[in-house]
Amino acid sequence: MKIDGGARMKAAGVASRRPRPWILAGFLLASASLAAIAQTATSYPSVQRVAPNFVLRDLHHQRIELRAYRGKVVLLNFWATWCGPCLVEIPQFAEWQKRYGTEHFQVLGISMDDAEAPVQAEERKLKLDYPVVMSNEKVEAAYGGILGLPITFLIGRNGRVRAKYQGAADLQAMEQEIKALLLPR
């Protein structure tokens, strides 16, 4: 005697039920929603989209507005004093500010630290000659949620994101991208 799967399940004390379509639909909808949220959080602002504007005060209480740097190539670096790879990159960024600043290039640092004091100490220690602002939730959300540091965006003269570097970046490749963006168009 051959027993079908459903009868075998009943014999084993397991109830056999067909999946209900509304449960499957709910699962698929929830999965799609989570995927969309995850994609948005990790990909915005994507390359070629306009970089979200912000207005913040730097460590010297000067007003810094991203939009004011239109016409320049901007290296926007999210960092923290406790981030080892960040502290390796920052001296190179300071060097690029000195080397390319007269060619319409600007470095902007956004610190993810909770307090200004360690950031001010690091700014003095590294002798940074570019603006450093303290981040806030609004800026972090606008840039897709800052998870993991460093994160650096290269923004073209037209205000559009041209590249995003997450984690310790290949600084030679980044400099080549900067040089390409600085070429007259």
Task: Report the CATH number that the domain containing residue 167 is assigned in CATH.
Answer: 3.40.30.10
47 falls in which pLDDT band (50, 70, 90)? confident
Regarding whether 29 and 113 lie in a shared domain, the answer is no
Per-residue pLDDT averaged across 31-38, rounded? 37
Regarding whether 88 and 110 lie in a shared domain, the answer is yes
What would the pLDDT profile of 63-92 be if each residue is shown by its tens digit? Answer: 999 999 999 999 999 999 999 999 999 999
4 falls in which pLDDT band (50, 70, 90)? low
Regarding whether 172 and 121 lie in a shared domain, the answer is yes
Least confident of 40-44, 62-66, 154-158: 40-44
Residue 50 lies in a domain: no
- The percent of residues in the chain predicted with pLDDT above 70, rounded, is 76
Regarding whether 85 and 163 lie in a shared domain, the answer is yes
Residue 140 lies in a domain: yes
Distance set, CA 110 to CA 31, 36, 55, 105, 139 (Å): 33, 27, 12, 17, 9
Structural domain span for residue 155 = 55-182
Extract the tokens encoding 19: 């999946």
Residue 48 lies in a domain: no
pLDDT in the model for residue 153:
97
Regarding whether 88 and 36 lie in a shared domain, the answer is no
Least confident of 1-10, 120-129, 152-161: 1-10
Per-residue pLDDT averaged across 40-60, rounded? 80
Regarding whether 84 and 27 lie in a shared domain, the answer is no
pLDDT in the model for residue 32:
39
What crossing angle do the helices spanning 84-100 and 116-126 adopt, rounded to 10°? 50
Give rounded-to-5 percent helix, strand, coil for the chain. 45, 20, 35
